[in-house]
Structure 1
Amino acid sequence: MRTLYLHIGFHKTGSSSLQLAMKEQEQALNRAGFEFLSLGKKGNSSSCVDVVEEREQLHFQVNSRFDKLLATRRSDRTIVSAEHLCYLYQRDDIERVQRVCAKHFDKVVVIVYLRRQDLQAISFKKQGARGAASKRSSSSKLLGHDEGAFPSLSKDIEIYYDYFAKLKVWASVFGADALKVGLFSREALHGGDIVSDFLSLLEGDVELSARQVNEGVARKEFLLTHKLLALGVAESELIKLKPMMQEDDTQLIPSRSDARQFFMHFKDSNQQLNDTFLSNDSGLAFDTDFSGYPEQGNDWISVRELSEWIPEILSAGIQRPEGLRDALLADKLQQMIGRGLSGEALTRELEYLAKCLSATAYIARGQQPWYRALKKKKTSGR
């Protein structure tokens, strides 16, 4: 029976590690009777899904590359991994995927891994800070560049993180038995890693070495990249600033209350997800322990930090560095006004604001024209 194992994501659930492991060890898969097809050099086939922004909303559609890829199959047991497929949520689009699969295969096993919404969002937004251009990566298009670890809630965000509604359609189109839903956590994964767990779902004896791929960024690069992209800084300028951002290795982490609030926004969806696809004692499909987060997060830029970073920005070789400094400071002032800071907190921020400005403060003094130095000064009268 011609069988397709179709891995559809989600993003930030070890997809890159899985894809690279299968791409690098294709011969081992072949010896076990499996064929791994991909559109990308690292095993990713997400380019089969177009991500287009129209009228301030994202639209997703499978393109012709998917059909062409499946048409190249030579084995009766084939694997394809394309995490962008998890973007699809409308029945017509998912039915289009099913029709293409049915042309080439008798059976399709749809494999998907889920990660608690707050954990996934932080990791996905970190990936969006790796680039230097807005609206180029899918993370940038979906999550945007607002300050903070989490994206602002929008219709696109609501759709993307409503796991239950999306999987319900996939199960309806492909059949409930065809959908294999796993939880992305070290404790839940077979063997403790995504590669071992995925192989355990295949109908055959396959052994591959695990592969680790880290696509995240540290705190300074996360904060400054998103802030500068939100301000509209050109890609060419951001590239010049990237080296100074990457000197820091501090990890960004939001507050416990912010993480819980983001997760609980999808409470109703997760309750249904728990009843249908995943079962957790919490009743919300995922572990609800948020103790790993601190009481106070570090996912905001303070004026104190700007006072430390601005000298580096000024010396990075960008055009009009003082203008960028002023844009950053004006943005912080607007935030301070909006947050209604007062007392000691306001005083402290104002002190660092003065420090930021003093780094480039300059007053032109009265100077004697050069030609005056050539003339002998008069000693008396007219």
Structure 2
Amino acid sequence: MRAALDSKYENVILSAEDLFFLDEPEIRPFAGIVYDLFDNIVIVAYLRRQDELAASHKAQGAKTIQSAWVFGFEADPLPALNSQVIGYLDFDSKLAAWASAFPNAQLRVHEYRRDRLVNGDIVADFAEILNIDLCHTQDDVNAALGANQIKLIYNLRQRGVGQRFVKRIHRDGVLTADHHKFLPTHNQAREFYAAFKNSNQALEERLQGFEFHDDFSRYPDVLVNTGFGEYERENLYRILSSISKTNPEDLARRLIELEGRVRKRSLFAMLKPEILGADLADELISIASDLDPRAHDVERAKRKAKARHSGFLSRIKTKVQHIKARWS
């Protein structure tokens, strides 16, 4: 960052939302770098009401994993109020740390709310605050995902899917369109916001006149049924077919058929997984091979599955013989 700031330009704008993730011990060395390079420093902070910002981060966490690291990997519209979340959303303490590290800087704090921004645009508003001319196009470069898309990605992550693959899903436009909003209920949002009452009162005293709006009308009274089950099933097949050369309809048929066969044997499978049988193991391995044609260990997996199955049957026969011997 120092190399980027230490440039040939006399005036520099550093815009990085990640700076707000810094805690007090990290802000001070950053301030030292900035003071070494610049004489006049203006810090502009846009604060968004805690419930709105937390909901936004939860939605953003389905795209970029940085938000999920702080706000959690659960597919809920609002995060749990743990120490990380409270630390990030305690705006009074956060701004106090910045003001302490930059005692000679100008600190300008504004509420982030579209109807209060110049032309409803954050860049235009920022330019007016600093009285500078910034040429930009007012494109929405960070369009929000739909509720079903967000839930599906969080569910995939919880089951071990890595961020590289999540990025690929976004890049290739694999998921079908979804226009449901990923929002908590009206009461959930109010309760979450109330947790920061003392911090916000201290913030208002610190900034003299700053106050968050009190409109909660964007939230529904009850959680909306988005038809997630059907959406998830359809898009899991789309994801699987996108990474393989298998026809999606054929893949769906094979998986549904396999699911039915597994269900029939599920009681025994709970007792001993091997009892699912070599035939089901072979089918699973075959599907895995179709999904990833580059796999080199399919035949080895088949041999292992058959060996486990044969070994299990052998142990069953031995136990039966022991029982017979006892009774006789």
Q: Give the TM-score taking structure 1 as reference length.
A: 0.57
SS at match of 2:43: strand
Q: Does residue 263 of the first structure (1) align with residue 193 of the second (2)?
A: yes
Contact 2:63-2:166 within 8 A present in 1 as well = no
Q: Does residue 99 of the first structure (1) align with residue 32 of the second (2)?
A: yes
Counterpart Cα distance in 2 of 1:358 and 1:249: 31
Q: Percent identity?
A: 28
| CA separation of 1:359 and 1:270: change in aligned 2, threshold 3 A | farther
Contact 1:220-1:246 within 8 A present in 2 as well = no
Q: Which runs of 5+ in 2 are unaligned?
A: 242-255, 265-328
Count residues with an aligned counterpart.
248
Question: How far does residue 317 in structure 1 lie from its aligned partner after superposition?
Answer: 2.6
SS at match of 1:181: strand
| CA separation of 1:313 and 1:83: change in aligned 2, threshold 3 A | closer
Question: How far does residue 138 in structure 1 lie from its aligned partner after superposition?
Answer: 1.1
Paired residue type of 1:248: D
Alignment of 1:51-66 (within 5 A): 66=1
Deviation string for 1:106-159 (max 9, x for gaps)?
A: 11111111111111111222121125xxxxx31121112112101122111110
Counterpart Cα distance in 1 of 2:78 and 2:238: 31
Q: Does residue 317 of the first structure (1) align with residue 240 of the second (2)?
A: yes
Contact 2:148-2:231 within 8 A present in 1 as well = no
Q: Does residue 185 of the first structure (1) align with residue 95 of the second (2)?
A: no
Question: How far does residue 246 in structure 1 lie from its aligned partner after superposition?
Answer: 3.3
Show the counterpart of 2:60: 127
Q: Does residue 152 of the first structure (1) align with residue 75 of the second (2)?
A: no
Question: How far does residue 215 in structure 1 lie from its aligned partner after superposition?
Answer: 4.0
Question: How far does residue 93 in structure 1 lie from its aligned partner after superposition?
Answer: 2.2
Question: How far does residue 297 in structure 1 lie from its aligned partner after superposition?
Answer: 2.0
Show the counterpart of 2:19: 85
| CA separation of 1:359 and 1:215: change in aligned 2, threshold 3 A | farther
| CA separation of 1:250 and 1:272: change in aligned 2, threshold 3 A | same
Given the alignment, which residue of 219, 224, 248 partners 1:293?
A: 219
Question: How far does residue 210 in structure 1 lie from its aligned partner after superposition?
Answer: 4.6
Alignment of 1:328-343 (within 5 A): none
Contact 1:149-1:254 within 8 A present in 2 as well = yes
Alignment of 1:211-230 (within 5 A): 211-212=138-139, 213-230=141-158
Contact 2:50-2:89 within 8 A present in 1 as well = yes
Contact 1:146-1:152 within 8 A present in 2 as well = no
Show the counterpart of 2:2: 67
Q: RMSD across aligned C-alpha pairs, in angstroms? A: 3.1
Question: How far does residue 170 in structure 1 lie from its aligned partner after superposition?
Answer: 0.9
Counterpart Cα distance in 1 of 2:2 and 2:103: 21
Contact 2:41-2:105 within 8 A present in 1 as well = no
Paired residue type of 2:41: V
Paired residue type of 1:110: I
Contact 1:224-1:245 within 8 A present in 2 as well = no
| CA separation of 1:313 and 1:89: change in aligned 2, threshold 3 A | closer
Question: How far does residue 177 in structure 1 lie from its aligned partner after superposition?
Answer: 5.7
Given the alignment, which residue of 122, 127, 130 partners 1:194?
A: 122
Contact 1:127-1:215 within 8 A present in 2 as well = no
| CA separation of 1:241 and 1:72: change in aligned 2, threshold 3 A | closer
Question: How far does residue 201 in structure 1 lie from its aligned partner after superposition?
Answer: 2.3
| CA separation of 1:278 and 1:248: change in aligned 2, threshold 3 A | farther
Paired residue type of 1:247: A
| CA separation of 1:254 and 1:176: change in aligned 2, threshold 3 A | farther
Q: Give the TM-score taking structure 2 as reference length.
A: 0.66
Q: Does residue 274 of the first structure (1) align with residue 209 of the second (2)?
A: no
Q: Which runs of 5+ in 1 are unaligned?
A: 1-65, 132-136, 319-356, 365-382
Counterpart Cα distance in 1 of 2:167 and 2:9: 43
Alignment of 1:225-236 (within 5 A): 225-234=153-162
Contact 2:73-2:158 within 8 A present in 1 as well = yes
